[in-house]
Structure 1
């Protein structure tokens, strides 16, 4: 059994596993898991020894009184002591990480089936994004979680524990990344047909790089090279895309769907399930339901492949 467990654990994805942490809280969870596993093995060993003794003891060697003593110690007292010790040991790890007034706040709102992400730094200049969370390494971050439609659950295994996102309520998850890199998060509460397709990218960055990135995100995408004119921009506007999506620096100011201001700078699309390629963007524009069943974005089957590609190239230019 232990060998089989080791094989299964060896197959864990380092980019989405509590056993491969990049955050302080996930490291604590892994530590507690290993301690709890050791405690469980002690209890299981005690029970196995009790069973072995009961089965192999010669007839008459184990009296009723002696058997009851064994059951009391190995079946009651020892497990109670072990479990109580584990509880006392784990209590300090349950204390919430303190949040200071200078710490970064990120609001994440779950929707079917994507993530609305809003950065709220201490200077008050908010920045909205979607389906990607970036955090500075070594700094405490308060992630305020809520939902628009149904209950979702925010879980970045390598960063910290999971927490539910409930409509009408805000829960706060406090985290701190200790290692830079790109990781993966996932909705951990069934929320509809595409629940399994509701992922997100998590990027832990050096503090200076994060500050520079956040400052750049405040600007309009057009300042970074995207064109306001051309077939793609015209098709985007004429098909009503700007009614649902916002692109800073243009007339697009919709709030129903994800903010696309810096869409082309993201590594994935459709909430972390497809690589950011022109072909994938064009496919999603024309037939989003075929890629993500139940998504609320309407399909545009009337667009030709050339038109969908033009829109895709325009969106990829928003960096």
Structure 2
């Protein structure tokens, strides 16, 4: 199946299904000499693994232990392909037996069946959110490279279930439930999740990603603009239905005099552009936001069709998140890291601004 490789120079290729023996991937293009270990990658994987995070997330308990297969020697990348594998250990495929011929609303069941003529109905197979574990592992490799350049990427949830944060503290978010951008939101989000879970329903939210230390000049004219590559990366995550850069949709309601970021002797006066001008990084902080849809697996009765075209009603069983937040936060962060690593190496290859 095509479409399993991301990046042009710093590349991540992933494989595996939700209920298969394992997931994994191969990172190509990582420069030699980058400090890297299973432990450092595991730190990132632990942020998204299932079985933690309270009432918002699935009860499926996976250790998500990574095993490096190649490309690392004595704690450093060798410059060759970095292969890794993450075994599945807590599959309950029998949970899905009753819906093997039924299309779940909001899922890719119908489209996979139409495209391939068959599908792995056990948790969605390749379309499952579990696929993102390989992205986080690849993003951890990218982060190790970016760290040598002084580039950092952080992310936080800024809205959940329609309840928005009033401030953003990305560093503190790593230690809060939900990766919340502020302390005041946590209790309200917990109550919202509890109420919606009791109704058998699910929630969406918004995640903000920021990158600091990005040099001026990353991004290519026209079709490989930095913001276009970042938007494509975030949109490749199944739960994402919209992406904003900087002021985003709010810019459409501004005057030009309000939206333009004035340039002063001391630097830019604002950052409505989100750190990207004409598709090229400006040296400012890069600011992205991703809209996360509600989890489509709900316990409420829904109308649907089976693969024979017969009308059916369905209640989705199994173990599912109430909201993709918090587990999608490290995934989106990883995708931004992969883009930046790739664009840095593309800039080096072209010899522009170096």
TM-score for the superposition, normalised by structure 2: 0.24
Structure showing the higher helix proportion among its residues: 1
Query: Is the radius of gyration larger for structure 1 or structure 2?
Result: 1
TM-score for the superposition, normalised by structure 1: 0.26
Question: Which has the bigger relative contact order, CA under 8 A and spacing at least 6?
Answer: 2
